């Protein structure tokens, strides 16, 4: 029987991934943790504990007491926030991962999921259809921590046989939990502002293309990777996953199909430089070939669901 620990369950991904894992593995077999309280859905449906993942002793106690077999380690400081507090963010992103990897090695845990990001790429990476293997010179604290993390999870697999699995998520779009301080957050905020005020001031310029993905596709990809036969995985750093690429202008046009009076204006801030250093689109053929990655949502389907669900939520 699997017993799963989710670290960072109160965030944008954790709040939805925890619920999907509980559906599959049973509510009491998924222990949700975060440094801050969980949302009602997670708190009411199964076990939840406050955990600062930097506290290695408490992490170890939970793993031993709950007889944990798998960890999904989602806690991190995202790109925009990390640029405001570089050293603290480096410490949180890296020390938390090393705590989890060491515990997995010592306790022979079955599997570890850790998310990487398109932020591992940098200004010298080819921007269009960015390959799995290419130049990687990230110039943000967040990106440097994700690239270092990829090297470490691969190292623990090669050196100690820890079954590590990772995905380079693009920007994730969802309506359940707010985005956590990243550069791709505009693509979530825009929907809320459209429904609430009929207009949005975007912190990226109109033609800034970035890869994005709707949350149900990201959750499915995560669990598909974790359930894939180990022998099928040709890499243990992190897989490229592409999703949908668009610019703020294209997204605004899609929203206007549903809300003809919606208007967008542009006031780029410090996140513009981060976005300019990231890929515009991603080649995810290795993930498709190794474990059958595929998606359900395109821009039009995602926009329709986002607007419908946010209207319901705000009413």
Q: What is the DSSP string of 172-188?
A: EE-SSS---S-STTHHH
Stretch that binds ligand NAD, among 39-47, 74-82, 155-163, 240-248 (CB under 6 A): 74-82
Whole-number Å distance between alpha carbons of 79 and 86: 10
- Say whether residue 182 binds ligand SER (CB under 6 A): yes
**Smallest distance, Å, CB 243 to ligand NAD?**
10
Whole-number Å distance between alpha carbons of 49 and 192: 30
Partner touching 54 among ligand NAD, ligand SER, none, CB below 5 to 8 Å by kind: ligand NAD
SS3 176: coil
Stretch that binds ligand NAD, among 125-133, 166-174, 279-287, 305-313 (CB under 6 A): 166-174
Identify the DSSP state of 67.
Answer: T
The 17-56 site mask, x for binding ligand SER (CB under 6 A), equals: ----------------------------------------
- Say whether residue 184 binds ligand SER (CB under 6 A): yes
Strand runs (DSSP E) across the chain, as ranges?
4-7, 30-34, 48-50, 70-73, 111-117, 164-169, 171-173, 199-202, 210-214, 239-240, 244-246, 263-266
Identify the DSSP state of 130.
Answer: B
- Say whether residue 211 binds ligand NAD (CB under 6 A): no
Whole-number Å distance between alpha carbons of 75 and 149: 13
- Say whether residue 78 binds ligand NAD (CB under 6 A): yes
- Say whether residue 190 binds ligand NAD (CB under 6 A): no
* Total site size for ligand SER, rule CB under 6 A: 9
What's the start-to-end Cα distance of the chain, in Å?
Answer: 41
- Say whether residue 79 binds ligand SER (CB under 6 A): yes
CA 213 to chain centre: 10
Which active-site residues does the annotation give? 142
Question: Which residue sits closest to ligand NAD, CB atoms considered?
Answer: 11
244-246/210-214 β-pairing: antiparallel
Partner touching 79 among ligand SER, ligand NAD, none, CB below 5 to 8 Å by kind: ligand SER
Interface residues toward ligand NAD, by CB under 6 A:
7-8, 10-14, 34-36, 51-54, 74-76, 78, 92, 96, 115, 117, 169, 171-172, 179-180, 182, 184
């Amino acid at each position: 029987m699997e017993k799963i620990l989710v670290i960072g369950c109160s965030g944008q991904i954790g709040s939805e991934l925890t619920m999907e894992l509980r559906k599959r593995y049973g509510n009491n077999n998924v222990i949700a943790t975060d440094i801050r309280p969980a949302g009602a859905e997670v708190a009411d449906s199964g076990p939840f504990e406050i955990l600062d993942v930097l506290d290695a002793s408490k992490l170890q106690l939970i793993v031993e007491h709950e007889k944990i077999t798998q960890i999904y380690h989602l806690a991190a400081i995202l790109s925009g926030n990390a640029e405001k507090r570089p050293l603290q963010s480096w410490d949180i992103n890296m020390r938390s991962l090393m705590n989890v990897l060491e515990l997995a090695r010592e306790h022979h845990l079955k599997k570890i999921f850790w998310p990487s990001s398109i932020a591992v790429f940098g200004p010298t990476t080819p921007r269009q259809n960015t390959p799995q293997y290419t130049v990687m010179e990230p110039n943000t604290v967040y990106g440097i921590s994700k690239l270092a993390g990829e090297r470490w999870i691969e190292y623990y697999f090669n050196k100690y046989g820890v079954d590590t699995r990772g995905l380079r998520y693009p920007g994730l779009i969802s309506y359940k939990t707010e985005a956590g301080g990243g550069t791709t957050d505009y693509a979530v905020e825009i929907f809320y502002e459209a429904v609430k005020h009929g207009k949005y001031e975007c912190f990226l310029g109109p033609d800034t293309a970035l890869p994005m993905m709707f949350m149900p596709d990201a959750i499915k990809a995560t669990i598909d990777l974790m359930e894939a036969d180990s022998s099928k995985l040709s890499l243990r750093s992190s897989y490229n996953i592409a999703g949908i690429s668009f610019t703020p202008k294209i997204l605004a046009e899609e929203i206007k199909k549903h809300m003809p009076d919606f208007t967008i204006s542009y006031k780029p801030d410090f996140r513009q430089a981060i976005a300019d250093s990231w890929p515009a689109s991603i080649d995810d053929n290795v993930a498709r070939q190794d474990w059958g990655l595929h998606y359900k949502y395109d821009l039009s389907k995602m926009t329709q669901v986002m607007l419908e669900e946010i209207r319901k939520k705000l009413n």
